[in-house]
Structure 1
Amino acid sequence: MANKTEKPTQKKLQDASKKGQILKSRDLTISVIMLVGTLYLGYVFDVHHIMSILEYIFDHNAKPDIWDYFKAMGVGWLKTIIPFLLVCMFTTILVSWFQSKMQLATEAVKFKFDSLNPVNGLKRIFGLKTVKEFVKAILYIILFFFFALAIKVF
């Protein structure tokens, strides 16, 4: 009796897409992000900027001022990391947008106070789904390093 014999109507499909209930693959999104991120690190990433900061620090070490070094390294890392994070963020948005057939789910973005319940949060943290996602994340990291070695990032 639980089997549904009729296909959903167009209105039900539109209502579901407004709620954000669409067929979307998280694995596809993660794979594309990893591919784009690896290509960015392999071909665009600017290590020379960080190296020039380190050379400056080692060349001018007569009277070190630790806060100047922290400031120089912080600014250097931000100039290097922020473009990478922006590329990954833009890729995530683009892949998710294409998977949702270029529709914005307004109801899915709304804030829900039920999500602040700590008991439900603990159930999500220690659930079987979380363990499965953790194992997949470890496998993604291993795959990322194989891609990085293939294009000789390291």
Structure 2
Amino acid sequence: MAEQDDSFEKTEEPTPKKLEDARKKGQIVRSKELTTTLLLLFSAFALISVGQYIASAMFGITQRSFMLSRDETYDIKHMFQILEMAVLESAWPLIGFIVIAMIGGIYGSVAMGGYNFTWSSAAPKANRVSPMKGFKRMFGLEALVELLKGIGKVLVISGMAYFALIIFKDEALHLDVELYPLNIFHALDMLEWAFLLLVVGMVPIALIDVPFQNHKHNKEMKMTLQEVKDERKNAEGDPMVKSRVRRIQYQAAANRMMQEVPDADVIVTNPTHFSVAIKYDQDGDRAPVMVAKGADQLALHIRKIGQAHDVPIVQSPALARAIYYSTEADHEIPQKLFMAVAQVLAYVYQLKAYKKGKAKRPKALKKDLPIPPELRR
């Protein structure tokens, strides 16, 4: 019972396949705090970089719009000229600000989890409208963490705002004695740096949220021992099915080899445990080829086919084992066995000539054929 309970506990790290399947469903690690912080940081730096140009453009537009001559007040086309001037003067600074802020927003979105586009996240799901699921989200650990983050943001940003007021208090109080319009640009400059200070207060919250989101995502992706076994089984295939496939493949290979046995020049046997059939085309450019091999029952089957088709059978246990273990079907005999195989073939050819009355009876084949030690089994 204990083992059965353990198999349903999510104690195993997620496999690459589990993570890839989750990614396809849109389940990737994200940090809203990191996205917001990067967007605001890029916006702050963009404001510092091009804020002066935006302010200058706005000041010029405002000044030109309210300083009209008598003739311009009666000119109907003047409004459109002012609008064109406003667009031309403010377009490039505003575009620069928008582009920099957009880069920050995009990078913040893909900084954790990378780019991922899927329609699975947009598909309607029953658990999103389930009251019980909603209740758990409202009062669960995640809701508590979000509440603590919200309180932390309020405290940190309030502290940074107070810090900014202390820094710029004297400068702000003396703006009224500065020359116009320099005091306006000075005020905008202070606002830019104050905004940067407020954004910097978000950095610690993002640094805390990133590892929390990683931990949360990893916990959600963890698998039970049974899920790991099922995934491995699906990936590798059912053992029974694989065994059946191997058996069918073996039978098909054996059938192909048996078809080659009748054309073999000689069958070398162990004499009971191994049999190898060798064929040599004297007019071809290949060395002797092992066309079939088998052990135990398959070896006996090879010998029966050979006997039925008058294929010479030679007993040489050492050579039969050496060829069986070193050569695959339809492959040439290893070069180190050429001498031994040549002696066997010479004996067979002489024996065939003797049976036809064209030669004397050959001497018995040597029992100790030249087989290298490394090929002996």
Q: TM-score, normalised by structure 2?
A: 0.30
Aligned to 2:183: none
Q: Distance in 1 between matches of 2:84 and 2:156?
A: 33
CA offset at residue 73 of structure 1? 8.8
Long gaps (5+) in structure 1 = none
User: What secondary structure sits across from 2:11 in the alignment?
Assistant: coil
Q: Aligned Cα RMSD in Å? A: 4.6
* Residues 38 and 96 of structure 1, relative CA distance in 2, 3 Å threshold: same
Q: Is the 8 A contact 1:36 1:88 kept in 2?
A: yes
**Change in CA separation of 1:23 and 1:105 when aligned onto 2, cut-off 3 Å:** same
2:42 maps to 1:29:
no
SS of corresponding position for 2:12: coil
Matched, 1:59 2:67: yes
Indicate the SS of the match to 1:5.
strand
Which residue in the other structure is 2:102 paired with? Answer: 89
2:87 aligns with one of 75, 90, 99: 75
Structure 2: distance between partners of 1:61 and 1:144: 47
State the shift of 1:10 in Å.
0.9
4+ runs deviating over 3 angstroms: 69-78, 80-83, 111-114, 131-151
Shift of 1:55: 1.3
Which of the pair is proportionally richer in strand?
2
Match status 1:105 vs 2:113:
no
Deviations 1:8-30 (A, max 9, x none): 11101011122221122110111
Task: Provide the residue aligned with 2:50 in structure 1.
Answer: 44
Instruction: Render the CA deviation track for 1:74-119: whole Å, top value 9, x for unaligned.
Output: 737972544433322221112222312x34232356x4366xx99x
Q: Distance in 1 between matches of 2:164 and 2:108?
A: 22
Task: Indicate if the aligned counterparts of 1:38 and 1:147 stay in contact, CA closer than 8 A.
Answer: no
Partner Cα distance (1:108, 1:144) in 2 = 40
CA deviations on 1:29-87 (whole Å, 9 max, x unpaired) are 1111111111111221221111111111122154277x928946973797254443332
Q: Following the alignment from structure 2 to structure 1, what is the Cα–Cα distance between the partners of residues 69 and 124? A: 53
Counterpart position of 1:6: 12
Question: What amino acid sits opposite 1:31 in the alignment?
Answer: T
1:23 partner letter: V
Using the aligned pairs only, state the percent identity. Answer: 25
CA shift for structure 1 position 3: 4.0
User: Whose relative contact order is higher, 1 or 2, with alpha carbons under 8 Å and at least 6 apart?
Assistant: 1
Q: Tell me the secondary structure at the aligned position of residue 35 of structure 2.
A: helix
Q: Equivalents in 2 of 1:15, 1:72: separation in Å?
A: 53
Matches of 1:90 and 1:29, distance apart in 2? 11
Stretch deviating more after TM superposition (2-11 or 26-35): 2-11
Displacement, 1:135? 6.5
Gaps of 5+ in 2: 168-188, 195-377
